[in-house]
Structure 1
Amino acid sequence: MADTVETGSGDTVSRPRKSSWTYIGPGIVVAATGVGAGDLVATLIAGSTFGYTLLWAAVIGCVVKISLAEAAGRWHLATGRTLFDGWAGLGGWTTVYFSVYVVVWGFVYGATAMSSSALPIVALFPDGPGLRVWAVVTGLIGLAFVWFNRYAVFEKVMTALIAVMFVIVMYVAIRVAPDLGASLAGLAPVLPDGSLLYTLGLIGGVGGTITMAAYGYWINAKGWTDSGWMKVMRLDNRAAYLTTGLFVVAMLVIGAELLHSSRIALTSGDRGLIDLGTVLEDRFGATTAKLFLVGFFATSFSSLIGVWHGVSLMFADFVERMRRDRAGGGAEPAGTAQEVAAAGDRERSVPFRAYLLWLTFPPIALLFLDEPFGLVVAYGVLGAFFMPFLALTLIWLLNSERTPPEWRNGMLSNVMLAAAGLLFVVLCVQQVREIPW
């Protein structure tokens, strides 16, 4: 149940009487969006290479994501301002970085997401249209779905997709008969030879994308706009990433039991899941393999529509901020009914829909062309810098006078965000080194 209270400005806002599981939603959305097919392959490869040894890293990764998403949500609720409002207050360099990033990243990611969603469809229907045709179809379906539906429907569909993902992956993990003794031993922090980069990637990679920054926008779209929703947000966030943690552990189990013992190697990238489907068919039959491909599609398509919605919300806020700055206006007032309306209006705004079109139509050209070399480099560099940028700017914002004293970082939050920032800096350096300059 929720209470309706009046603010100092005379507006009424709804605040929950207590934290409740019935409110959960935005956390599921951000977790489902952040876990893509490439993340699943990385986890499978870690399991196939090192067995259960790196299970502890998956658990730490879950805690890191909880800390980051909680910080983003706390900023939105404690200040009544969006994350981009906070970034803009740190200096013009944040605006320059984000403006370049959101254009280049969206262009390349659009093609990647459409291809990833099409792969399992091609595997399920090999006699149908080719990969490129299915990729275009999934992109257009994602565009139409986000264009015509508001957050409430979007959340329900995302919840259904993550339920499909979770049930199928847990089912496959149970079918491969996990070794409980070995899995418990994997909770002890051990670094086998040659495992450092796998470990860092496992901690930092699964569920960690620009969509973590979109979490605050989704909680606003849900109608949570002030600190009265803080307990609900924290429950929502923890429940979502604990679910993600179980999901990641299940994929590691599949890699350890199905691939490690048989010394089966997967293709890197999304196509590795097609390899796994073949292995599952050989081991358990066509039905299990097809079920897994359905889960693969749910994973990829949830990421597609999640990005189509969440990053478009961020872009709409970015444009709004630029317009307010040019007009000499300030930030929107905190904790008011107008904020709820503003969050809903973004889903129908011209910038929101313009970015939706940007994510869909220009990337279609990349599906029929080799990715330009310079674009690949720019995409790699900008993408590598985003997670360190997010972690370190959250530390800056949540320890400053921009945040009300009672909602500033405590020791634990600072330690977790600093550790995440350091981790992502190391991963950033490694990603930049791997770019084909």
Structure 2
Amino acid sequence: MTGLLQLSVSSVPCLSRAPPRRYGASGPQGAGPRPTEVVPVTEPIDDGRKAGHHERVDDDGGQVAKWKIIGPGIVVAGTGVGAADMVATLVAGSRYGYMLLWAVLFGVIMKIILVEGAGRYSLATGYTMFEGWRRLGKWTTFYFAPYIVIWGFVYGASAMSSTALPLAALFPQVPLIAFAIATGIIGFLLVWFNHYAIVEKVSAVLVGLMFLTIVTLAIIALPNVPEMLGGLVPRLPDDPNGIMYTLALAGGVGGTITLAAYGYWLREKGWYTPKWMQVMRIDNTMAYVITGIFVVSMLIVGAEVVRAAGVTLSAGDKGLLDLERVLEERYGLFVGKAFLVGFFAAALSSVIGVWNGVSLMFADFMGRMRGLPDGHPDTRVGGKYFKWYLIWLTFPPMILLFLDQPFGLIIAYGVLGALFMPFMAVANLGLLNGKHIPAEWRNNWWQNIALGITAVLFIILGVYQLWNAIT
């Protein structure tokens, strides 16, 4: 009887291949690697899936696929909108009122399409985003390798400085550089000693704080509803740079390398097979609904508060300190200080998300370059390469806090950064069609049209940003 059972199981194609054991499939909260299990890197099979991926449906112990409010999407929402995005939206509101509301909402839809594609690819195939990019050709590695190194160095200093600004305004007796260094170290320690589940919970608290603060501020500002409704009709500003400013607002807000980190956060959450597809789509949509409400709230504040005050905001993140002074004059000390708390929450959530998500991407990149087996601990949270990049994000950039940013480095940062969103959009088109993904999860015609439009707009915006970086 035992022999017959063994024969019958081995004769069924979907059961004859034993699912590979690997690191990290340790439950819904990504409790970390199991250091005794190592398998060789599996070769891709013909239908676009990584070998053994389809059989992993119940690697999580048969957990029912249910969406929860606190998931990878909340980390995306917290990471995607930083101080620079807040300033850009405020300036748009102060210059043009509600005219570009449609562009903000269109940008949210573009991000939903882009990130859904990244999540769908990861769940359907079992490949990480970097593995997918490598399947498109070596050119992706030649771009990504210098980008992630230069981006981390410059962004680390920028993020620490942005997070320090509201703290320095709240406690002016402490130097801004001291707060910047402290912020970097806090982010470093939080990510170094904790797994994804803690990062997710901290992000949820920060997102809740920034959301409550900014949305309440927008309500206090009493938005002009008829004007807002008029802003849903696509129009462009009359000034010469109106088209590019509109594209920058639509494409730039919430659009960074962390969009590609979403697939890694899905894996850390324990959502790594097709049964989580619908949950992922809900999670991603909710992330950008939160982002959209937040950004629209900033547009309202710009239109109703900054424009009414006749104030020209300073360039860069310091424009938010100008807003704090306007809020104090108009609504009192409490509202002004509450805004600084929301500003700090938004900036710190970006630090924590990047420190975790982009370090995961770098660890995967290094693991693939070194030919390490699937799930090797060096490529996961807390692994060697993860910690390397975490150090790179935190400590070398502190040098830039004491110096003027080197011109050549900033040019390289601007050039490579301008190309990332077009790179991701075009790569998604390649990965979500043809042999790179199982047939049932490939793009349909309307998804290709939507992603194609997104790619074209990001290419136009990328060329514009590239020109600005060079000139």
- When Rg is computed on C-alpha atoms for both structures, the one with the higher figure is 2
Q: Which amino acid aligns with 1:89?
A: R
1:3 is aligned to none
1:409 aligns with 2:452: no
1:160 is aligned to 205
Per the alignment, in what secondary structure is the counterpart of residue 59 of structure 2? strand
Any residues of structure 2 matched to 1:31-430 within 5 Å, and which? 31-128=77-174, 130-194=175-239, 195-324=242-371, 332=374, 346-430=380-464
Q: d(CA) in 2 for partners of 1:211 and 1:366?
A: 22
Pairwise CA distance, 1:261: 2.9
Q: Which amino acid aligns with 1:132?
A: I
Pairwise CA distance, 1:159: 0.7
Q: d(CA) in 2 for partners of 1:171 and 1:196?
A: 31
The count of residues paired between Structure 1 and Structure 2 equals 417
Per the alignment, in what secondary structure is the counterpart of residue 192 of structure 1? coil
TM-score (norm 1): 0.92
Q: d(CA) in 2 for partners of 1:144 and 1:73?
A: 28
Say if 1:77 and 1:229, in contact at 8 Å, map to a contact too.
yes
After superposition, give the CA deviation of every residue in 1:323-367 in whole Å (9 maximum; x if it has no partner).
22xx7x7xx4xxxxxx6xx69971111000000000011101111
Q: Relative to 1, partners in 2 of residues 1:384 and 1:343: Cα closer, same or farther, differing over 3 Å?
A: farther
The unaligned stretches of length 5 or more in structure 2 are: 1-14, 20-55
Q: Which amino acid aligns with 1:223?
A: G
Q: Relative to 1, partners in 2 of residues 1:7 and 1:263: Cα closer, same or farther, differing over 3 Å?
A: farther
Output the aligned Cα RMSD. 1.7
After superposition, give the CA deviation of every residue in 1:214-269 in whole Å (9 maximum; x if it has no partner).
00000000001110100000000001101111111111000000122333211121
Per the alignment, in what secondary structure is the counterpart of residue 270 of structure 1? helix
Say if 2:377 and 2:383, in contact at 8 Å, map to a contact too.
no
Say if 1:54 and 1:199, in contact at 8 Å, map to a contact too.
yes
Say if 1:16 and 1:228, in contact at 8 Å, map to a contact too.
no
Per the alignment, in what secondary structure is the counterpart of residue 95 of structure 2? helix
2:18 is aligned to 9
Say if 2:415 and 2:470, in contact at 8 Å, map to a contact too.
no
TM-score (norm 2): 0.86
Q: d(CA) in 1 for partners of 2:213 and 2:16?
A: 46
Pairwise CA distance, 1:13: 2.1
Identical positions, percent = 53
Pairwise CA distance, 1:18: 5.4
Pairwise CA distance, 1:19: 4.5
Say if 1:111 and 1:366, in contact at 8 Å, map to a contact too.
yes
The unaligned stretches of length 5 or more in structure 1 are: 1-5, 333-338
Q: Relative to 1, partners in 2 of residues 1:7 and 1:262: Cα closer, same or farther, differing over 3 Å?
A: farther
Pairwise CA distance, 1:102: 0.7
Q: d(CA) in 2 for partners of 1:343 and 1:183?
A: 51
Q: Which amino acid aligns with 2:324?
A: G
Q: Relative to 1, partners in 2 of residues 1:24 and 1:203: Cα closer, same or farther, differing over 3 Å?
A: same
1:431 is aligned to 465
Q: d(CA) in 1 for partners of 2:447 and 2:77?
A: 20
Pairwise CA distance, 1:400: 2.2
Pairwise CA distance, 1:436: 5.5
